[in-house]
Amino acid sequence: MNEVSKNANTFHVAGDGSLDIGPLHGAVVAIGNFDGVHRGHRAVIGAALSRARGLNRKAAALTFSPHPRLFLRPQDALFQLSSERDKMRLLATTGLDGAIVMKFDAQLAATSAEDFIEKILVGRFGIGGAAIGFDFHFGHKRAGSPEYLAEQGARLGFAVDIVAPLEDEGRPVSSGAVRAALAKGRVVEAAELLGAPWFVSGEVIHGEKRGRELGFPTANIKLDPACGLKHGIYAVRVAIDDVRYDGVASFGVRPTFDDGAPLLEVFLFDFDGDLYGQRIDVAFIGWIRPERKFSSVDALKRHMQTDASQARDALKRAGKAFPLLGEI
């Protein structure tokens, strides 16, 4: 186990309930959904930080909640890479001074691109500049392009940095690419795109206590039903308060027992304690194997020993890999 280092920077989160965004008024804004805060997002954030330093202004993320796709297409499940809380924790480590979180609702969805720029970015937030990804669109029916924002910025007195696409060994760095990697269990590939291991956080709940009976007591977490992570066994690293533990986790439906609702079950090495009701962070470090149905409980127990051994090896190879998370 290892001690968790904390980020001491103050990160201001401004909600959408008021015209007053406090110290973030006049900031240079990085605009986007920032799901997962991957390396492409960080390039946009980096452009905003660079311009903000040149202007001696603060820099902030301008993002939306819920994710626009959830509002516009509620019938379609969306595998979100990070919860709203965890997205703020990731953004808090980027060097930004804070985040402006706009509520995405019918009113915002109906706002024209022109009004979004003139009435919100300029009139309401008084932005000092903007950075935006090459493919990010905004305004009613996504009519506002990065180029349109740059044109209007030149007219209204603020500069816009349009950030080119980022690739990693020929792969586009995007939230969609991360989701696709996780859907195949390729957590190492996902980490390369994100810049750090993918993680989830959640409250430990009571389960069926089968793990304890098998000699592998687990901390159980229900993930979002839309989670698209491949069912299987993973090497994981877990943060509990200020301490990290290595472990092995199963995500799936427990086919040997009940084929129930998907559940994340985490067995921590070198840990003995009660975690019920506590919130923990679970980072996915390595893939071990797919979930499978065993012919007997004894066969499952033997395989769990092998899984744990392989997880220890994967974690040793990964060093101290863990996402940097800030406090909000």
Residues classed as catalytic: 265
Axis crossing angle, helix 175-183 with helix 187-194, rounded to the nearest 10: 170
Structure tokens at 194: 């994100």
CA atoms of 36 and 84, how far apart (whole Å):
10
CA atoms of 21 and 12, how far apart (whole Å):
9
CA atoms of 298 and 239, how far apart (whole Å):
31
Q: Are 49 and 59 in contact (CB under 8 A)?
A: yes
H-helix or E-strand spanning residue 91: helix 84-91
Strand pairing partners for 44?
none
CA atoms of 47 and 50, how far apart (whole Å):
5
CB atoms within 10 A of CB 20: 9
CA atoms of 32 and 121, how far apart (whole Å):
13
Q: Are 72 and 109 in contact (CB under 8 A)?
A: yes
Strands 199-203 and 243-252: unpaired
Q: Is the peptide bond before 66 cis (omega within 30 degrees of 0)?
A: yes
Residue tagged 């796709």 (tokens)? 69
CB atoms within 10 A of CB 291: 17
Query: Residues 227-238, buried b or exposed e (16+ Cβ, 10 A)?
Result: bbbbebbbbbbb
Q: Are 22 and 14 in contact (CB under 8 A)?
A: yes
